Amino acid sequence: MCVGVSCFAGCWCCATDADCQLNGECLQGLCVCDPAWGKADCSELQLLPSPAAPAYPPPKLFNVTSSWGGSVVRDDDGKYHMFVSEFAEDCGLKSWATNSMIVHAVADAPQGPFQRIGVVVDAFAHNPVVARAPDGWVLWHIGCGSPNRGTPKCSPCANGTTNTSACKLIPEEVSCSSNSTHVLHTSSLDGPWESINASIANPSHAKFLIDNPAPYIRPDGSVLMLGRDGGSTCRSITAPSWNGPYTLGPMIGDKDVPVEDPFLYQDTRGAFHALFHGGKQGGGVVNAGYHWFSADGLTWNASSKTAYTTIVNNIDGTTTRYNRRERPHMIFDHTGAPTHLYTGVWLGIGDKSATHVQQIQTAAHRSFVAV
């Protein structure tokens, strides 16, 4: 029922802010969405036309390098630092479970292109995500990297694509041990990084321990995290500090609906949000991005509507449809509003992939359009 407004047939109305996916406010029965979100129920991320060039790899490496997703943070010096999965030996996305390594890249602007600085963790290491802690910076990833395990690398490859006939494709090594996960810490994004194997409490029911880590560090230094468990189930995870111990919490979402690649953040009103690849709760497009929301970060609501799709509008007026668009990450301005979305995209040339960046509508864009 709508309150204070007259709704005609087919009109969508809200009763509480939750009907607006906590991406806005319900005022007199209608959702007033935050600038980054649109549609009647604030379910769709408002993405602006995209540049043709990817954020990573940069032009000088594009013909020989593939990447997949990227976690970006802004340092106090105004530089943007990306920690990205790159595939060794000039291989492509299909080699990820053996050849993925974590690379540091830097840019002067959030849209890049990001220039490669060097390898932070050698193969196998994947799914990097970095966040600021009270005592520095923290980077989570899956795998242990060399020399801890020394996963054999797929080779030979060329042009950022995988020679599958010459490579043995194996399952990824998610954790360092049966009761730990790999975490790195530094006082400077330029390193050096100190690595630890943080302990996980009560892991017996978890197949993958912490897979696809998506952390949020509270002001007191404690951690709320979402992570994939068993390949398809998402769980909440908590820790008193970034160095653990990590305690696996309850499953969230529908146990029969596969989800992966969560990105977790808290908005300026205190609500929690997560973007996922997949997670078509109640139906929807398989390879799209979906939005979940929570008042406390523990009890979640999963939307069946797509937050974004694999179709990207380009600055030149054309559109591009990617076969896969995964690993969402966002960055935020000084007010806490999201400004850019980073995703891993499969380019359709063999298994060549890149890290895509797309600007998100802000209050400034909305004001400009109104004028």
- Tens digits of per-residue pLDDT, 346-362? 998 899 999 999 999 99
pLDDT at residue 253 above 80?
Answer: no
The per-residue pLDDT for 3 is 44
Residue 117 lies in domain: 34-370
pLDDT at residue 284 above 60?
Answer: no
**Model confidence, pTM:** 0.93
The per-residue pLDDT for 179 is 78
For residues 238 and 230, the model is more confident at: 238
The per-residue pLDDT for 371 is 35
Domain with 308 in it: what CATH number? 2.115.10.20
* Residue with tokens 């007191």, as numbered in its chain: 220
Residue 7 in any domain: the answer is no
Residue 191 in any domain: the answer is yes
Region 275-303 average pLDDT: 78
Residue 132 in any domain: the answer is yes
Structure-block tokens of residue 363: 């209050």
Residue 110 in any domain: the answer is yes
The per-residue pLDDT for 149 is 55
Region 301-317 average pLDDT: 90
The per-residue pLDDT for 99 is 92
The per-residue pLDDT for 282 is 47
The per-residue pLDDT for 366 is 60
Residue 15 in any domain: the answer is no
Long-range CB pairs of 342-349 (<8 Å, 24+ gap) are 342/55, 342/69, 342/70, 342/71, 342/72, 342/82, 343/69, 343/289, 344/67, 344/68, 344/69, 344/70, 344/85, 345/54, 346/93, 346/322, 347/322, 348/322, 348/323, 349/161
- Which tens digit of pLDDT belongs to each residue from 213-235? 999 999 999 999 998 876 567 88
Mean pLDDT value across the chain: 87
Q: How many domains does the chain have?
A: 1
pLDDT at residue 147 above 80?
Answer: no
Residue 307 in any domain: the answer is yes
Residue 9 in any domain: the answer is no
Residue 189 in any domain: the answer is yes
